[in-house]
């Protein structure tokens, strides 16, 4: 599978790694992932925890002086790992990603209450985040009703997954 980004453009400044909010959970830093790809060590990358720990927040891509979209690289590599049957080292993280994408595809925005409710039910712990959810609701950060749909988002998602 060919990546949309060229890893050989990276000159290892590590700005992506220093700006990553979840780097403490990774076994390889984002700049190391790119470096290993440029060295042809794709299998090692596909078996790393990092692919599954990536939050997809684009902090790395924004910081890259060479405009390498590392978030897209991580997404592509996760898809490749799934296609090749490489197991996710943390099944709960894979389930969270699937749930997130499913909720996003519904209307273009995540409905946190539904997404986390479905996730917690699948993980067989229905009240796991109940205390946090209650605090978020009281502060107006969690809404009972889903957000309105973003026009054309479902068509865009379908087209994206076909390419």
d(CA 73, CA 76): 5
pLDDT at position 18: 93
Instruction: Dig out the tokens for 43 from the structure.
Output: 């299998």
pLDDT in tens, 129-150: 888 888 888 888 888 888 776 6
Residue 105 has pLDDT above 80, yes or no: no
Residue 106 has pLDDT above 80, yes or no: no
Domain ranges of the chain: 7-83, 91-162
Taking the alpha carbons at both ends of the chain, their separation in whole angstroms is: 12
What pTM was computed for the model?
Answer: 0.67
Instruction: Dig out the tokens for 30 from the structure.
Output: 């984002």
Which alpha helices (DSSP H) does the chain contain, by range?
15-18, 30-38, 42-46, 50-53, 59-63, 70-83, 91-107, 112-122, 130-138, 153-162
pLDDT in tens, 20-44: 988 988 999 999 999 999 999 999 9
Residue 162 has pLDDT above 70, yes or no: no
Picking from 26, 3, 4, 2, the residue whose alpha carbon sits closest to that of residue 14 is 26
pLDDT in tens, 52-83: 888 888 889 999 999 999 999 999 999 899 89
């Amino acid at each position: 599978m060919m990546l949309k980004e060229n890893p050989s453009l990276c000159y290892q400044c590590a700005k992506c790694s220093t700006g990553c909010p979840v780097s403490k959970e990774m076994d390889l830093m984002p700049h190391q992932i790119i470096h290993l790809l440029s060295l042809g060590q794709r299998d090692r990358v596909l078996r790393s925890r990092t692919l599954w720990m990536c939050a997809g927040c684009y902090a790395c891509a924004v910081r890259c002086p060479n405009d390498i979209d590392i978030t897209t690289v991580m997404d592509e590599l996760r898809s490749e790992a799934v296609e090749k049957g490489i197991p996710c080292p943390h099944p709960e993280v894979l389930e969270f990603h699937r749930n997130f994408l499913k909720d996003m595809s519904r209307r273009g925005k995540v409905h946190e209450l539904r997404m986390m409710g479905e996730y917690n039910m699948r993980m067989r712990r229905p009240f796991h985040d109940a205390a946090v959810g209650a605090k978020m609701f009281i502060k107006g950060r969690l809404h009972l009703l889903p957000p309105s749909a973003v026009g054309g988002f479902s068509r865009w998602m379908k087209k994206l997954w076909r390419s």
